């Protein structure tokens, strides 16, 4: 069987050199600690936290504590048995929610377990 190629398919793409370099350098970027106990990517870390109680700190002085049930490739989170903690000048306000879907653009930090309660520091 004869395979017919057009002259354009024989020319390397402008990214061919870059892709070849990435393939050559890839082993150097892999962490030697990459094991199931030491996740290498954020999604692997979230996978290890599935079913665990976590605290997600959000933009605007809000913490959300709940059980991680799922996530997607954008790191949006689905939590069950949620307690929303809002830190206001008048005090701390808590709200219980059954299930919540958090958009990743609002999340600044994810902590395993319940976050410690903050105390106001007076000067």
pLDDT digits (tens, 9 = 90+) for 14-47: 655 555 555 555 554 455 555 555 667 888 888 9
In the structure, what pLDDT confidence band is assigned to residue 63 with cuts at 50, 70 and 90?
very high
Candidates 52, 54, 42, 122; CA nearest to 83 is: 54
pLDDT tops 50 at residue 8: no
Maximum CA extent, the chain: 84
Taking residues 52-56, report their average pLDDT: 94
The whole-number pLDDT of residue 114 equals 81
The whole-number pLDDT of residue 16 equals 59
Q: What is the pTM of this model?
A: 0.63
Phi then psi for residue 9, to 5 deg, are: -75, -20
CATH number of 42-112: 2.30.30.100
The whole-number pLDDT of residue 40 equals 76
pLDDT tops 50 at residue 86: yes
The whole-number pLDDT of residue 54 equals 94
The whole-angstrom separation of Cα 53 and Cα 77 is: 12
């Amino acid at each position: 069987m004869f395979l017919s190629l057009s002259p354009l398919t024989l020319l390397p793409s402008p990214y061919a050199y870059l892709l070849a370099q990435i393939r050559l350098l890839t082993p150097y970027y892999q962490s030697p600690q990459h094991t199931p106990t030491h996740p290498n990517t954020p999604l692997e870390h979230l996978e290890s936290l599935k079913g665990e109680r976590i605290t997600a700190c959000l933009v605007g002085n809000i913490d959300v504590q709940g059980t991680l049930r799922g996530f997607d490739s954008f790191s949006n989170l689905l939590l069950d048995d949620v307690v929303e903690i809002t830190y206001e000048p008048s005090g701390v306000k808590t709200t219980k929610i059954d299930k919540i879907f958090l958009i990743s653009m609002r999340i600044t930090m994810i902590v395993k377990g319940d976050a410690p309660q903050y105390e106001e520091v007076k000067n």
